[in-house]
Amino acid sequence: MSHVAANAKYAVWNGRHLIAGEWRGAAAGTFEDRNPARPAELLGVYPRATAAEVDAAVVAARKAFAPWRRTSRIRRGDLFDNLARLIQRDLDELAAVMARENGKLLNEARAEIVEGLHMVQYVFGTARQPIGEVVASEIEAKDLYVRRKPRGVVAVITPWNFPFAVPLWMLGPSLLEGNTVVFKPSEETPEIGERLVRLFVEAGFPTGTVNLVHGIGEEAGDALARHEDVDVVCFTGSYDVGSHIRRLAAESGRKTCACEMGSKSAVIVCEDANLDLAVQATVLSAFKTTGQRCVSAGRAIVHEKVFDRFAATLVERARGLRFADPFDANAFAGPLVNQAGLDKVLYYNALAGEERATVLLDGGRIAGDDRASGYFASPFIYRQEHRPGVRTIREEVFGPHLAVIPFRDDEHAVEIHNDTPYGLSMAVITEDYRRWRYYRDECEYGMGYVNLPCIGAEVHLPFGGVKRSGNGQPSAAGLVESVTHRTAFTVNHAREIAMAQGMSAQVK
Ligand code: NAD
């Protein structure tokens, strides 16, 4: 098979932190990186950062901050142009590293590297954009400026499911705006994280501007999120960890945080929908990337008049999907990321039965061939009524697990849609322009789509959600507001002082 050849050339990666420009091995323990399609295959061994190493990385970032923020913004931008060229040079290799490490199909891994590249190109372009505004004053001789300034040291803590694009959504705007960073990639995908940092170094980013610490979330991640000299924490990951980071930021009394978290996204299929398009959009939303996108649909909310026809076609299409090695050219999606991810899916599949669901496609662990040792699962689809207390239609599963929920009318569909703690992504399938406008305005979400899957992002849009999905500080193009603060700056061009609001400036 092609993946054997694709994998054969790689040696086990010997991971390193990058602290103050120095590549450092383990001071204490290490952790292993394994291939989720064949867990016996060891991909790399990484140092497990201690609080002291995290501190050294923050100290290095602080030291680099003043010279970096004083560097011309255009010059900072030029380094992103260098970085873009390096990513283009290494595109195929980076995609292969990601596919092996997190189980994403090679084609999808490539698309994610391209998304990261787009972020770098976007950041390069914005270097020459205004950094503020000039506004009028009540006083003729005064000029008022609003200028964005960098906040300082930014901690970047990221998940495994988008291990290249998500870090770049954060590292790109943070660095361009003049901040310095300490980056902690997920312990599930350390190699692609380290490869990215090596490219930053090669592109010429000065010592200390980008620091890398590998490690376990509860150790290195926690130490970084709590560090007193971190100004901003940019986090993407689960709600539980995100809410912990929000608490730490609030307790610090000075730190800000931008948190993108989980979801229970949905595709809403209206009675007038093009059903072929609806099924295709649902399959992509629910099962692409093995349901492991933050925006993956855990719910299809379907009008009762078209429910049976839609469900029958959906099940037929889902049954034919191939979940296999990421390098298998015929695969639709790969494995789950690890044993915990697989166990979670199997738990929720069983829970659906306990919650009196009608199972339409009884997927589960794939056994009986060479996939049996990997974390492979096939689609599980069930009909569930919208009732209070049903957990499977409200909680994030993060795998190929889909509830199909019938609705009576548009108001009912919106009620179902909004009845989860999350609000990240929503697609509505309809031919009626009045109808999609209603869903656009009434549903709670951060990203909305019409006649499309509820997945897919472009870097020049903000990427974020509401409720437990995000704290209103979106990533990608939206991140600039989180990593800068707006200063008001007033200059008097007269020889005497005049105050606004008619206040007297006389000193008697
Ligand atoms: P996770 O929350 O387990 O881990 C995310 C990162 O946080 C990792 O780097 C981890 O090491 C670190 N971490 C863990 N515990 C920590 C702690 N106590 N203190 C500080 N850092 C800690 O999430 P995951 O399993 O890597 O990713 C999947 C989750 O991410 C899903 O819930 C998914 O919806 C979400 N996600 C959201 C978005 C979005 O934009 N909303 C995008 C991608 C993924």
Asked if residue 32 is part of any domain, the answer here is no
Give pLDDT tens digits for 148-186: 999 999 999 999 999 999 999 999 999 999 999 999 999
- By DSSP bridging, strand 380-383 and strand 358-361 are antiparallel
For the CA of 216, the nearest atom of ligand 1: 11
Tell me how crowded residue 82 is: count the other CB atoms within 10 A of its CB. 17
**How many separate helices (H) and strands (E) can be counted in the chain?**
14, 24
The tokens describing 125, both together, are 């372009």
- DSSP states of 452-464 as a string? S-S----TTSEE-
pLDDT class of 36 with cuts at 50, 70, 90: very high
Predicted pLDDT of residue 368: 87
| 274 plus 243 within the same structural domain | no
| 250 plus 302 within the same structural domain | no
Predicted pLDDT of residue 9: 57
Predicted pLDDT of residue 197: 98
Asked if residue 349 is part of any domain, the answer here is yes
| Residues whose CB falls within 8 Å of the CB of residue 447, separated by 6 or more in sequence, listed in order | 295, 424, 425, 426, 454, 457, 461, 463, 465
pLDDT class of 462 with cuts at 50, 70, 90: very high
Contact (CB, 8 A) for 384 and 405? yes
Among 334, 91, 328, 76, which Cα is nearest to 205's?
76
Predicted pLDDT of residue 1: 36
**Of the listed 101, 260, 395, 396, which one is catalytic?**
260
The stretch 416-440 carries a mean pLDDT of 98
Q: Is the pLDDT of residue 51 over 90?
A: yes
Q: Is the pLDDT of residue 4 over 50?
A: no
Q: Cα torsion for 40, 43, 45, 49, to the nearest 10°?
A: -110
Q: Is the CB of 396 under 6 A from ligand 1?
A: yes
Asked if residue 31 is part of any domain, the answer here is no
Tell me how crowded residue 429 is: count the other CB atoms within 10 A of its CB. 30
Asked if residue 501 is part of any domain, the answer here is no
- By DSSP bridging, strand 180-184 and strand 153-157 are parallel
Asked if residue 317 is part of any domain, the answer here is yes
Q: Is the CB of 54 under 6 A from ligand 1?
A: no
Q: Is the CB of 33 under 6 A from ligand 1?
A: no
| 131 plus 247 within the same structural domain | yes
Total count of domains within the chain: 2
Its pTM surpasses 0.95: yes
Predicted pLDDT of residue 5: 43
**Of the listed 234, 259, 294, 454, which one is catalytic?**
294
| 413 plus 290 within the same structural domain | yes
CATH code, domain carrying 391 = 3.40.309.10
Q: Is 271 helix (H, G, I), strand (E, B) or coil?
A: coil
Q: How far is the CA of 271 from the centre of ligand 1 (A)?
A: 37
| 254 plus 271 within the same structural domain | no
Q: Catalytic: 260? A: yes
Asked if residue 251 is part of any domain, the answer here is yes
How far, in Å, CA of 365 to CA of 227, rounded?
41
| 71 plus 196 within the same structural domain | yes
For the CA of 341, the nearest atom of ligand 1: 25
The stretch 408-429 carries a mean pLDDT of 98
CATH code, domain carrying 217 = 3.40.605.10
Structural domain of 135: 48-261+470-488
Q: Catalytic: 411? A: no
Among 153, 160, 126, 108, which Cα is nearest to 252's?
153
Q: Which helix (H) or strand (E) holds 272?
A: none
How far, in Å, CA of 322 to CA of 315, rounded?
14
Hey, which residues does 448 pair with through a beta bridge?
426
